Structure 1
Amino acid sequence: MMNIEEVGLPAHLLDHDYFRPVVYENNPNEELTDEDEEVEVLENVRVPADEEVLEEEDPEENPLNQVPVTYRLIPGVHHGSRVYIDNLGFKYYKREARINRIYLVCERQKSRVHDYCPCTASVSTEPVDNRIRIRNRHNHEPADINLHVPFLREAIGARGIDPENMSVSVRTAYNNAIVQYPEAANNYTFMQGQRRWKRMRRSRQPNGGRIPEDIHELAEALTRPENAAYSQTLQTPPSNFFQQELLVNGSSEGIIFANLDAIRRFREELATVTTVGIDGTFKTVPATPADLRSFLTFQVVFKSVSFPMVYVLLRSRTEETYVTLFNIVPQILPLNYNSIRFVTDYEKGLMNAVQQAFPESRLGCCWFHYTQSIVRYCHRKLNGVLDLVKRNPEAARVFRMVLALPHLPAVGPEFISVFGEDYRTNNYLESFHSTLLPQMGRHPNIWDFL
């Protein structure tokens, strides 16, 4: 027997088995078919060990010698399907319906892993009548069924296809579902719930989950009414989130998204905005269509809080593409562009496009990107600047002065100076993009992304 003192467990754990390792009998990552999932979830027949002494059964208590009287319905594996369970625990599937009767067959008539069972049954089409009549007896014992698991599985699947839950993670959906059905939590793992979630999402995605091959095909898919769940906002009533395809010289270069209802609602507040940040990210760009390269966001700063207003999936990052985009943005987002200060990184094409599309506005570059570029240069082994800064106090002082240069009034390169500015970086954009990564993952499915 294990000496508890030698283990050294805290006192509040001594009477529990939290420290015991979890042993999985099956590989949880293995893909399941519908029938496999049904067997895994609903069937857990207890087989006694050879040495276990069984009590003598009363023949009248044996389910094989009894006739079922009533039934109840539980959710099936397929969304919206139902399985019939009689009061003895036998399970039936629907075969057909005629006039006022529904005809059922034993589950083993549709099973590939069990022997055939000749039992059939019928029930009334009236929901209030839960009586069941059978023909032919079962030739097997009823399975040990956890009646809570099917409801947990259905709840997870329903959350997966609910338009209001499109931005909810599978972990959050699973945790919320097991709160509703705690009795099923021990018999339906997170990995099973995750497979269910993904399967339901794929089944409800346009074209059965098929991914558009290019940006133009994606834009066409988003214009179809049957795909409204992916082109509209989640608010009630919904409005169009997909705005238009970005065409440059007849070539499809991007997809533009914006919430026009929110823009109209806050039109007066938007008229007072004086700072706009523009930046792109690459890690959360969907893997397909393969021609997608970046995800650009156009954010306004109002009372020290940034709000993303326009989103663009882009194929290219050329100056011509940016200019075309920025000529469309004022049609979507009404701002006093003559008094706007744009904050960007040091991407040359983006900077030139802002100056060309908004000549009356001011352009300033992000101080964080400036310092980041200087530090990266110093870390290059070939130039030896970092070693010099570490050894020489004067060099270190000059290095810090170079980093602080943008805080001086602009004399020379005016884009570098952040002197007197309320917002010296576009870190709010970087923060927004960093929050997308844990929610979406790297290069997600385009339908999950939307």
Structure 2
Amino acid sequence: MSTHIHGVQQAAYNEFKLNDRIKNRCKVNKNATPRVVFNEECQMDRKSSKNIQFGRRQRTYQRCQRQGIPRNPKTLDEIKTYLEQEEVLNRIGKTLHCEPKMFYQQTVITALFAYCIFASESILTNLPAILNMRIDGTFKVVPAGPFKQLLIICVDVSGHSFPLSYVLLTRKTQAAYMQLFKQLQSKWKLTPMTITTDYERGLRNALRMHYPSAELVGCWFHFIQAIRKRASKIPGFMTFLKTDSSAKKLYRKFYNIPLLKDDKINIAFELLKQEASSFGTRFNEFIKYFHDQWILKEGPSSISVFLQSHRTNNLLDSY
């Protein structure tokens, strides 16, 4: 009996020591996630790890890892000062090559907006003379603080897309984009042949100003997303499409208009418009929206993705 009790106590002690080792490693290792640390330690001591569950201790390990990490800078001046510290530059401001190069470039603060540029100098120095560029913005992964958008700039090389630059912006205005691309051009003379973006007006206007010889191509995914969003706001329209398969089929044909050559888009729109008249006034508001937004405002040449090797910017989500 006493031997059994001693064995139970020893097992509990071993589990305690293993858990302690995991917590200590989490405190000193800021690069590996708690899950990675947990798995590595459990692999080295499988006997003691039988009854230890990561889910029950995850928050404890995360708190251990946060110890010693300085608080996130809150203001633009704090962010700029933080990123320019030598210790921070060595930890997160350089690439992971055998010979690290600068990844953090600069933080620019003005009265109306600010932006923070990260870019790979290794890629920049090996770019072809003429290239295709892709630009997309996201709000989901932006750190809490003054920055509101992360702009990702990629380039296509040999059939593959590579991230060229990441830019944190406080505002998504035309003035902010104008200043940003002026800054990028002053540092790196890029000569894009095509630039694929969503249909954000300020961004596209700034690109036209700085890259007048480049062809601006719209993102097919964002085109469909915009149509769906607008259609859902038309009273009763989506309900009507759900109850009439022929109407739904016609509606979805509008998704494919950008697949046509630009000089065929107006013809296709008129044909679909004529077909929509067979449903009475049901399509009237949608037809007016499509005509005003995509035929007149954006224009056929802007929305056409005819013969484009990549019709969307979805691959940027990988970065």
Give the TM interval when normalised to the shorter protein.
Answer: 0.7 to 0.9
Distance 2:218 2:104 in 1: 29
Distance 1:381 1:400 in 2: 16
Alpha-carbon deviations, 1:372-398, whole Å to 9, x = none? 2222333335152551574262x4454
Structure ranking higher on relative contact order (CA contacts 8 Å, 6+ apart)? 2
TM-score, normalized by length of structure 2?
A: 0.75
Distance 1:333 1:150 in 2: 54
Distance 1:388 1:211 in 2: 49
Pair 386,406 (structure 1): closer, same or farther in 2 beyond 3 Å: farther
8 A Cα contact 2:18 2:41, kept in partner: no
DSSP 3-state at the match of 1:421: coil
| Residue identity matched to 1:214 | T
DSSP 3-state at the match of 2:151: strand
Please show how residues 343-422 of structure 1 align to structure 2 within 5 Å. 343-380=196-233, 382-384=235-237, 387-388=240-241, 390-391=243-244, 393=246, 395-411=247-263, 413=299, 414-422=301-309
8 A Cα contact 1:216 1:252, kept in partner: no
Alpha-carbon deviations, 1:271-297, whole Å to 9, x = none? 16532111111111112x2x1211111
| Residue identity matched to 2:65 | M
Distance 1:235 1:194 in 2: 33
Distance 2:29 2:2 in 1: 49
DSSP 3-state at the match of 1:399: helix
**How far 1:257 sits from its partner (Å)?**
0.8
**How far 1:427 sits from its partner (Å)?**
1.3
Q: State yes or no: 1:223 paired with 2:223.
A: no
Corresponding residue number in structure 2 for 1:239: 101
**How far 1:344 sits from its partner (Å)?**
0.7
Corresponding residue number in structure 1 for 2:60: 195
Q: Work out which of the two has the higher radius of gyration on C-alpha atoms and give 1 or 2.
A: 1
**How far 1:160 sits from its partner (Å)?**
6.1
CA RMSD of aligned residues (A): 3.1
DSSP 3-state at the match of 2:141: coil
Please show how residues 76-155 of structure 1 align to structure 2 within 5 Å. 146=13, 150=17, 153-154=20-21
| Residue identity matched to 1:213 | K
| Residue identity matched to 1:418 | V
Specify which structure has the higher proportion of helix: 2
| Residue identity matched to 1:314 | L
DSSP 3-state at the match of 1:183: coil
DSSP 3-state at the match of 2:49: helix
Alpha-carbon deviations, 1:336-364, whole Å to 9, x = none? 33xx2111111111111111121121111
**Matched residue pairs, number?**
277
Corresponding residue number in structure 1 for 2:119: 258
Q: State yes or no: 1:278 paired with 2:164.
A: no
Pair 178,262 (structure 1): closer, same or farther in 2 beyond 3 Å: farther
Corresponding residue number in structure 2 for 1:322: 177
8 A Cα contact 1:152 1:178, kept in partner: no
Corresponding residue number in structure 2 for 1:177: 41
8 A Cα contact 2:134 2:153, kept in partner: yes
8 A Cα contact 1:271 1:336, kept in partner: no
Q: Which runs of 5+ in 2 are unaligned?
A: 4-8, 264-294
Pair 259,173 (structure 1): closer, same or farther in 2 beyond 3 Å: farther
Alpha-carbon deviations, 1:135-160, whole Å to 9, x = none? xxxxxxx9987457546644664466
DSSP 3-state at the match of 1:311: strand
| Residue identity matched to 1:406 | P
| Residue identity matched to 2:73 | P
Q: Which runs of 5+ in 1 are unaligned?
A: 1-52, 56-141, 434-450
**How far 1:310 sits from its partner (Å)?**
0.4
| Residue identity matched to 2:34 | V
Distance 1:397 1:192 in 2: 52
Distance 1:54 1:421 in 2: 77
